[in-house]
Amino acid sequence: MKHARTTLVVVSGAAALALVLTGCSASGSAAQDGPATLKVWTGFTGGDRPGYATIVKDFEKSHPDIKVDMTVQPWDTIQQKLPSAWLTGQGPDVAAVSSDPNAVAQYVKTRSVLPITDTGDGSGKINTASFAPGTVEEFTYDGKLYGVPANFATLSLYYNKKLFADAGITDPPKTVQEMAADAKNLTTGGKYGIALADNQTIQMWPVLQWLEGGDIVSGKGCSVVQTSAGQKSLSTWADLVAKDKVSPVGLTGAEADSLFSAGKAAMEINGPWAASGYKDAGIDLGLVKVPVGVDGKSSTLGSIAPLSISAKTKYPKQAQEFLAYWTSKTAQQKFSLQTGFPPLRTDLSDDAKLTADPTVSVFASQVPDARLYLPHVTNATKVDSDAYVPLIGEITRGKSVAEATKSAGQAIDGLTGCSK
């Protein structure tokens, strides 16, 4: 009897354990027969979403032996789920790991991503030589390539034609000084000259800094915000926001977009994903290149979402084939026309169809001037969250630029391990 009861305990315990374990590993063994199914995660929930769906659909059509199961979820969900999903072998085969290209570093560190080797200019190869400038370097660690761009967006200047006309301004600004003057003139009657977001957003302030002749981090990974050029580049627009109230303080990206969509802000620096939303909101929309900087040169932000392959994928060959197709000339041309994004390949820059498209051409024309935000800077995500975002927050709330940049500079140097 005692024996029987012990057995019962063991059996029920084992049953419960089995229950728990099967719960964990239900998706563990994928079928090896039949077509390979690539699980893909992306965070493209915006207006560009259908463009990626087209890429997948066309890929499946031309590759009948490979199925693609793409899941779209918000970026912060991916950020929470992907690291552990990949480590436990449960994650997708391919993922756009973040909207922030620097995030690849983390996955390289945890050995979660596969080095991409199937490169070259043959058909079915990933043609890295054709990628927009800076992209290959951005995803290369220790000489190995760990990602390809899922897209390459540049930022342009959106403006509200009606508000410009109401203020008696005929042309959109061509220089950063004109943009500042316009922002002041357009700030009237409860309307703002510009919607400048400084947190949870695509980076707008670095663009202003570049136009005003400043930067955030030097090539050696040392802060330059506290230098005289750095301070000067920040103070113009900090004053415009803090004193002239050309933009509300502390906007998130979504808030800035809402403000512009509501016709309450006359300008916004933003990427191609925003165009459809603004048009749907009924804005009399103008779109031009970001005005040239104080030195007469153009600068804008280039934004890349990295597309990487899981180190644990069962289909490394098929996954690379998929990336090769995603970044191919045909797929990119179609994608650009559908979404307004510039092509991520330089060999499409003078493509007749793309240059004829009024939206694509504006974004594409700025690809050569595009710069990345904190490229290859150590602890880039922390530099952003702990130093740069608070810095902008402080100076737009009236703190002295000299003081704020001094402490931000120290924080940045501490994070990057700057060696002067």
User: Would you tell me which residues interact with other proteins (CB under 8 A)?
Assistant: 1-2, 5, 8-9, 12-13, 15-17, 19-20, 79-80, 83-84, 86-87, 106, 109-112, 190, 192, 199-200, 248-252, 255, 258-259, 262, 264, 379, 381-382, 385-386, 389-390, 393-394, 397
Whichever of 190 and 296 has its CB closer to other proteins, that residue is 190
Per the CB < 8 A criterion, the answer to whether 48 and 339 are in contact is yes
CB closer to other proteins out of 50 and 390: 390
Strands 300-309 and 94-96: antiparallel
Q: Considering all CA atoms of the chain, what is the largest pairwise distance in Å, rounded to the nearest integer?
A: 96
CA dihedral 162, 168, 174, 180 (to 10 degrees): -100
Contact 381, 100 (CB under 8 A): yes
For the CB of residue 385, give the shortest distance to other proteins in the complex, in Å.
6
Minimum Å gap between C-beta 418 and other proteins is 18
Q: How far is the CB of 233 from other proteins (least distance, A)?
A: 20
Residue 267 burial by CB count (10 A; 0-12/13-18/19+): exposed, middle or buried? buried
- Which residue's structure tokens are 């900090």? 238
Nearer to other proteins, 213 or 393 (CB): 393
Residue 45 vs 200, nearer CB to other proteins = 200
What's the angle, vertex CA 249, arms to CA 391 and CA 416, rounded to 5? 20
Q: How far is the CB of 32 from other proteins (least distance, A)?
A: 26
Cβ-proximal residues to 154 (8 Å cutoff; 6+ apart), any chain: 271, 272, 300, 301, 302, 303, 342, 363, 364, 366, 367, 369, 370
What is the token pair recorded at 248?
Answer: 């509300």
Q: Tell me whether residue 124 or residue 417 sits nearer to other proteins (CB atom).
A: 417
Beta carbon of residue 22, minimum distance to other proteins (angstroms, whole number): 13
Q: For residues 79 and 119, which CB has a smaller minimum distance to other proteins in the complex?
A: 79
Minimum Å gap between C-beta 84 and other proteins is 6
Q: Is 37 helix (H, G, I), strand (E, B) or coil?
A: strand
Report residue 90 as tokens.
């449960």
What's the length of the chain?
420
Of 191 and 371, which has the nearer Cβ to other proteins? 191
Shortest Cβ distance from residue 4 to other proteins (Å)?
12
